[in-house]
């Protein structure tokens, strides 16, 4: 299971929110690059970066920060927040993103998002399936859509999506543990029935990345056991609930 620390950006600074509420913003470091380098020094290879200004503005904003981290570290960065147009996507990839995450766009403009999957391939496009009470939330979690979580994922599975980041918003930033039951339900319902080899079965399963609520190191092996392909860890690292030293043991 991949360990993926999160860096959320507002005004070029490294912040965390609780339940996606911008009023709960807490600045952890003025320099996201400094934080990224600490992760890299601990042996971390992956980074989840969210442009919270972009999510609000509905277009990419903090691409210069992305570029800085991509050129000055070797981290494989997946980037999301406000990606709405082909130009946004072009800027993100040009700035050094290895993957991009689309959430709101997948709900509001499925034609464009499907086109991105076809153009860039399922290795580069991640479906952001963030939910409150199993309903998809969009626009930096400021709006709830009518889309049901599992059918939403299944629909994009049919269109070739492999990577899915799912955040249970009620858990996000609360340090109360992740949604084990929800992830188990997703993995159970989003593994397509294939009767041939285990290899084919694997290729028809989504690569689920758990996100939100991680609070202790002991939760990580449980997520791995469930079948999560990766886990995004944010506030637990910044609040020293999980140390980089501990994470090194999993790398």
> Which value, to the nearest 10 degrees, does the dihedral of the CA atoms of residues 106, 109, 110, 114 take?
-90
Cα separation, 104 vs 109, in Å, equals 8
Catalytic residue among 8, 53, 88, 172: 8
User: Residue 105 in 3-state DSSP?
Assistant: helix
Sheet containing 131-132: which strands, arranged edge to edge?
131-132, 135-138, 143-148
Active-site annotation holds for 8: yes
pLDDT in tens, the chain (251 residues): 999 999 999 999 999 988 888 999 999 999 999 999 999 999 999 999 999 999 889 999 999 999 999 999 999 999 999 999 999 999 999 999 999 999 989 999 999 999 999 999 999 999 999 898 899 987 655 666 789 999 999 999 999 999 999 998 888 778 899 999 999 999 999 975 443 344 444 446 899 999 999 999 999 999 999 999 999 999 999 999 999 999 999 98
Distance CA 214, CA 3 (A): 12
Q: Give the span between the Cα atoms of 58 and 81, in whole angstroms.
A: 8
Q: Would strands 99-102 and 125-128 be described as parallel, antiparallel, or unpaired? A: parallel
CATH number for the domain harbouring residue 130: 3.20.20.70
**Known active-site residue 133:** no
Nearest to 228 by CA among 185, 197, 171: 185
| DSSP three-state, residue 174 | coil
Could you tell me if 79 and 92 are in contact, meaning their C-beta atoms sit under 8 angstroms apart? yes
Helical H runs in 82-190?
86-94, 104-108, 110-120, 149-158, 180-189
The maximal CA–CA distance of the chain, rounded, in angstroms, is 52
Cα distances (angstroms) measured from residue 57 to each of 14, 49, 52: 18, 16, 9
Structure token digits, residue 30 = 């003025």
**Residue from 78, 130, 168, 172 carrying the catalytic annotation:** 130
CA separation (Å) from 7 to 36, 118, 125, 162, 196? 8, 28, 19, 23, 40
- What pTM value is reported for the model? 0.92
> How far is 122 from 157, CA to CA, in rounded Å?
10
Domain count for the chain: 1
CB-based burial of residue 173 (10 Å sphere; 0-12 exposed, 13-18 middle, 19+ buried)? buried
- What are the pLDDT digits (tens) for 66-87? 999 999 999 999 999 999 999 9
Range of the domain at 66: 2-248
Please tell me the predicted confidence (pLDDT) of residue 144. 67
């Amino acid at each position: 299971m991949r360990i993926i620390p999160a860096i959320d950006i507002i005004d070029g600074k490294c912040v965390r929110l609780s339940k996606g509420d911008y009023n709960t913003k807490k600045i952890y470091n003025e320099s996201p690059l400094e934080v990224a380098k600490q992760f890299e020094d601990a042996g971390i290879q992956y980074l989840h970066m969210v442009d919270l200004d972009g999510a609000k503005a509905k277009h990419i904003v903090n691409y210069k920060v992305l570029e800085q981290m991509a050129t000055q570290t070797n981290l494989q960065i997946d980037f999301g927040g406000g990606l709405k147009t082909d130009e946004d996507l072009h800027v993100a990839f040009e700035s050094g993103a290895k993957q991009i995450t689309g959430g709101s766009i997948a709900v509001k403009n499925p034609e464009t998002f499907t086109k991105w999957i076809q153009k860039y391939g399922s290795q580069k496009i991640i479906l952001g399936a963030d939910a409150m009470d199993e309903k998809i939330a969009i626009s930096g979690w400021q709006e709830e859509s009518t889309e049901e979580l599992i059918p939403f994922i299944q629909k994009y599975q049919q269109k070739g999506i492999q990577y899915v980041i799912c955040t249970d918003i009620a858990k996000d930033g609360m340090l109360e543990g992740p949604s084990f039951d929800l992830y188990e339900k997703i993995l159970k319902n989003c593994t397509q029935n294939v009767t041939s080899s285990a290899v084919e079965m694997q290729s028809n399963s989504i690569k689920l990345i758990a996100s939100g609520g991680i609070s202790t190191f002991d939760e990580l092996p449980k997520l791995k056991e469930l079948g999560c392909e990766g886990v995004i860890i944010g506030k637990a690292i910044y609040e020293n609930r999980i140390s980089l030293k501990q994470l090194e043991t999993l790398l």
